[in-house]
Amino acid sequence: MDALSHLSQLPRELGAFLWRQKSRLLLLLPITLLCMLWLTPVGDLRGWLLTSILPRSLPPQWSVDFAKLSLHPGFPLAVRLSELDLIAPQLPRIKVGRVTYSPSLLQSALNKLPLGHLNVEDVFGAQAEVSLKMREKLDVEGSLNSLPLAQVIRDFSPYPIPLEGQLNASLKGSIDPKSFIPLINADLTSSPITMGSTTVSGFTLPQLKFSSLTGKLNFDGQKLTLTDVSLGSDQDGLNSKINGDVTLSPGRFALNLSMSLRISNTMMAELERGKVTSALTLIDSCKRPTATGRVYNFRIRFAGFPSLPECTGG
């Protein structure tokens, strides 16, 4: 009977013991998972990432490959991918030097997505950090630092625009994990920007210097909205402010942009020497003279075919 009495008390005593050791057990679980990941052959882990994890975490028709994979101990364990190639529809191939991923193990396991913190090095020569968390949607928060505009234009633009300067952005938003429709807000800042003298279609633009680029962007998967995007300031020979939106949905491109363009008298003289002022005749009726130069306020619309600029107040 005593033996049976002790046996009946065993589940209660075991439960009490586990409760007293709960802090150690909570620590043991992630350590066990990390050890399992650490002991996994790197080749198997690379194949698992390429075939199972990355395809689920990328938009449809996107693909990624990488040359090297390494594991770095820490809490949590970090996975580092080097020499990445990202291929996306209608975009040139994007090369990334290195991505270090520190996973949120519990959230990743529950949501079957690689959630956690990403540190991206050498994407167009810039650095980026992204934090991914799952709530109702995939929450995204991050930053982009020192993006060289010259390299971006060289990789994306068909025109050799001699633009120098670095762009910074802070990002916050969410992505629907089922449709991959993003809702992203970005605040832009930059270092001083210089565009070297260049000749386009017979017009010679003088060297242009802008003290900064600032503004806000919002992207909802189809429409890019620009709010107070300012290139330069009143101290520059030429500056502009843009508000409006650009539709980028598949099979459709449209824009509706309101622009304010200020040109100083000194800059107007340089534009006249380069025969650039003839291009301003389309918006000449929108001109408002000032003590130091002139201001043009106008709207540009495009929906399948271009329309002439419309003058606006201001």
Over residues 286-314, the pLDDT tens digits come to 999 998 999 999 999 988 777 788 998 76
Q: pLDDT-based confidence at 143, cuts 50/70/90? A: very high
What b-and-e string marks burial along 221-241, b requiring 16 or more CB atoms within 10 Å of the CB?
beebebeebbbbeeebbbbbb
pLDDT at position 110: 63
Q: Is the pLDDT of residue 245 over 90?
A: yes
For residue 123, list its beta bridge partners.
96, 126
Q: In percent, how much of the chain has pLDDT > 90?
A: 26
Greatest CA separation for the chain: 110
Q: Is the pLDDT of residue 206 over 50?
A: yes
Q: Is the pLDDT of residue 47 over 70?
A: no
pLDDT at position 175: 83
Q: Which of 11-25, 57-71, 142-156, 219-233 has the highest mean pLDDT?
A: 219-233
| DSSP structural state of residue 237 | S
pTM of the model: 0.72
Q: How far is CA 69 from the centre of its chain?
A: 24
Residue 161 and residue 200: Cα distance in Å, rounded?
10
- Asked whether 212 and 234 are in contact (CB, 8 A), the reply is no
Q: Is the pLDDT of residue 251 over 80?
A: no
Model confidence pLDDT, tens digit, residues 82-139: 888 887 776 677 888 888 888 776 666 666 666 778 888 888 888 999 888 877 788 8
Q: pLDDT-based confidence at 46, cuts 50/70/90? A: low
* pLDDT mean across residues, the chain: 79
Tokens of 235: 């101290």
Torsion of CA 236, 301, 243, 261, to 10 degrees: 20
Residue 28 and residue 25: Cα distance in Å, rounded?
5
pLDDT at position 187: 96
In the chain, what are the domain boundaries? Answer: 28-176, 192-314
* Residue 118: partners with Cβ closer than 8 Å, 6 or more residues away: 99, 100, 101, 128, 129, 130, 131, 132, 142
Q: How far is CA 205 from the centre of its chain?
A: 30
